[in-house]
Amino acid sequence: MVGRWSERFNRGARVGESVSRAREAQTAMVSAFLDMDKRQTIASAAVDASAELYPERGLRAAWEPVRDRCFQAASDYLDTSERYGNDQVLHQNPNGARAAFEKSVAELVEAAKGVDAFYNGHRAHLEQATVTMSAIPVLGQQARTLANAVREKLAATDQRYREYPSVVTASEHLDDAVAALDNARSSGRADAVRTRAESVREAVSTLEEALAEAPSTQHRAEMTISSVSTRLSAVRTRVDRLDPAYSALLREFNAASSADLVDNSSRSRAHIDQADIDLKEAKQSLAAGNPEHALALMAEARVHLADAEACADAVTDRLATLRAVRADPSQKEREVRFRLKDAQMFAVNQGLVAEWGSVLDAQLARIERASASLSGTHPDYWSYVLQLDSVSTFITEVVEKMRARAGKN
């Protein structure tokens, strides 16, 4: 009788011990699941941030097999918990329950290791993406705050300045940028919020610059108008010398030497007339309280004055060049021959004669042909100049190529 009770007691003790170990395995399984789930949640959020902010990195595709393994381990965990988690099953089959719990623990631990390996492999980028994503709502609100502040500044600005085109345009641009930011915040797209917030910041900066410059615009316009007026007078004086210079060209040199300059007088005066019109309109705009438009007109006037000067200088410079060549035709030829000789010496010193020697030698014939063209009662000195300038330019290009080749050797 005593032996039978003892056997029952021992059997009960063994069952109790098995159940206790099974419960320990179950507790370990729950801990492993919570640990894996925590790691998977953190990594998944970081991958989502990367995919939204930096889709070109392609981390979502790399994350999917790691995530799927976590999902499978979690699914097996839930099945095991449902199958072995109640007391009746634990007491009926504690060893089977313990084995199932330990198997689930191993799966969960391996899944967690996969998460760690993936996260550590991309840690710097994932942490950056996470920080950036968390800061984006703040960026949007900060941009909104900056926009409100500059609008208050605009409202307190002198009415005259608020009507300047640069201020009006900048203000409208800010309104559009803020509206786009609000739409992005409503959509919940972090990448759109970040982009639109930056656009708002840029628009705020542009408006602030326009407001800062507005008070000095009137003075700048006045000074510019005065400067352009002075320059207009000077250019008129230069253009007045154009016609006598052109007449001298026709009298002293071959007609072909100035054929390309025949319209320079009329073109220069047309540019002066247009600059004068711009100047008058600028003065009217300034008087009407629109100095920005006056400055724009003065920019156009300066372009016309530069073109008028170029037309006049082309004639006077041509006359001076042709007179110098006529006085000593050989001077220009000597200069080009010197350049050629210098290039030939460079080819010799760099061991490039085989490649460039004949090319350079051919330029001597071109120089001689140009010199031979100076014949007759009225030699075409301008053609002579153009031919030698062409040779000189070609020599320069050859020397540059030789220098490049020598640098590679």
Q: What's residue 59's pLDDT? A: 87
DSSP state of 253: S
Low-confidence ranges of the chain (pLDDT < 70): 1-15, 188, 408-409
Q: What's residue 72's pLDDT? A: 93
Please name the residue that has the structure tokens 């005593």: 2
Which residues lie below 8 Å from residue 246, measured CB to CB, with a gap of 6+? 258, 261, 264, 265, 315
End-to-end CA distance of the chain: give it in Å, rounded.
109
Q: Are 235 and 272 in contact (CB under 8 A)?
A: yes
Q: Are 146 and 83 in contact (CB under 8 A)?
A: no
Q: What's residue 2's pLDDT? A: 46
Distances (CA, A) of 193 to 56, 57, 374: 18, 20, 74
Q: Are 308 and 364 in contact (CB under 8 A)?
A: no
Q: Which two tokens stand for residue 384?
A: 């002579």
Q: Which two tokens stand for residue 240?
A: 């007045």
How far apart are alpha carbons 382 and 320 in whole angstroms?
A: 11
Q: What's residue 255's pLDDT? A: 87
What is the total residue count of the chain? 409
pLDDT digits (tens, 9 = 90+) for 100-155: 888 999 999 999 999 999 999 999 998 888 887 777 778 888 888 999 999 999 99
Distances (CA, A) of 213 to 167, 203, 210, 322, 363: 10, 15, 5, 50, 58
The DSSP-derived string for 30-49 is HHHHHHHHHHHHHHHHHHHH
Identify the CA nearest to 343 among candidates 409, 279, 406. 406
How far apart are alpha carbons 123 and 46 in whole angstroms?
A: 9
Please give the radius of gyration of the chain, using alpha carbons only, rounded to the nearest integer: 44
Provide the 10 A C-beta neighbour count for residue 379: 17
Q: Are 84 and 97 in contact (CB under 8 A)?
A: yes
Which residues lie below 8 Å from residue 149, measured CB to CB, with a gap of 6+? none
Return the half-sphere exposure (C-beta side, CA atoms, 13 A cut-off) of residue 34: 6
pLDDT digits (tens, 9 = 90+) for 293-343: 999 999 999 999 999 999 999 999 999 999 999 999 999 999 999 999 999
What pTM does this model have? Answer: 0.60
Q: What's residue 10's pLDDT? A: 46
